[in-house]
Structure 1
Amino acid sequence: MTKQTTKSLTLTSSFEQVSRVESFVDELQEWIGFDQDMYGNILLALNEAVTNAIVHGNNEDEQKNVFITAVHEVPKLKVSIQDEGKGFDPSSLPDPLEDENLLKEGGRGVYLMEQFADEVTYSEGGTRITIEFLIDEQQ
């Protein structure tokens, strides 16, 4: 019997759909068996990525979807989040740690993803983000 290596979830672009991310991370934890610290890192990063995809990528257009695909390639968990928007250039984002940006309400999502994941990459013209986590198999 072959162990399943992929899980996926499709969301409509309604902000209320972000709440489904936690159940998806619960499913990933049951599937792979990572600890609570890793759970928190994954949940935070995916919440930020999905929120960005819904709000900024798809402009909360409920006719557009957000596609989440998790692939377990020991020792990594790779999660891709793709929206149906126009994309963006991640290098154009302002540094959230600069003095003029510290008190701004938004602009920290990408920074947080990069802090809590082991690797973050962008593709498909900025409509797809892939977030990688190294999972300790000894847990």
Structure 2
Amino acid sequence: MKRTINFSSIPENLTLVEKLVDDICTDHDINGDYYGNIMISITEAVNNAIQHGNKYDPSKNVEVGFDTDNDAEILSFTVEDEGEGFDFNSLADPTEPENIEKLNGRGIFLMQNLADEVDFSKEGRVVELNFKMVPN
């Protein structure tokens, strides 16, 4: 069951994403820690799109998409912004000693550790996060 939402790049619209994730997790009987992993990963991706991609420009939109494979074994989310993109291959490792005390730079690291698969495309303007269904 595909779902897509589009919204302007203002932080208040994050509630739309939280509602989408809540609805999807309810539909697929996902709760507990795995629900938390999905919510944190998707909201972090959307925060990055609003802040870093679209630079809080309300005239630029963020699109969040959701789909499952035929057997509903993988939940797939995409987050796309209208920014310039970034080089996702040259990100600083937030666990390195010189980066430990920095206040930012952990979002993608979090996504990569909470989702089963994270892929970037369109020069970094799109992130796809995949979550394998796990029995409760």
CA distance in 2, matches of 1:105, 1:21: 24
Distance 1:31 1:82 in 2: 24
Q: Secondary structure at the match of 2:92?
A: coil
Q: 1:111 aligns with which of 109, 112, 119?
A: 109
Aligned partner letter, 1:48? E
Show the counterpart of 1:12.
Answer: 8
> How much has 1:31 moved relative to structure 2?
2.1
Identity across the alignment (%): 38
In the alignment, residue 39 of structure 1 is paired with which amino acid?
Answer: Y
Instruction: Give 1:1-139 correspondences, 5 Å limit.
Output: 5-73=1-69, 74-136=72-134, 138-139=135-136
Q: Determine helix, strand or coil for the equivalent of 2:30.
A: coil
Please give the TM-score of this superposition, normalised by the length of structure 1.
0.92
Give, as a single letter, the amino acid of the residue that structure 2 aligns with 1:43: M
Where in structure 1 do 4 or more consecutive aligned residues deviate above 2 Å? none
The one-character-per-residue Cα deviations of 1:46-80 (angstroms, maximum 9, x if unpaired) are: 11100000000000000000000010112000000
Matched residue count: 134
RMSD between superposed Cα atoms in Å: 1.1
**TM-score, with structure 2 as normaliser:** 0.94
Query: Aligned AA for 2:128?
Result: T
CA displacement 1:95-121 (0-9 Å, x = unmatched): 100111000010000000001000000
The runs of 5 or more residues in structure 1 that have no matched partner are none
Pairwise CA distance, 1:21 = 2.1
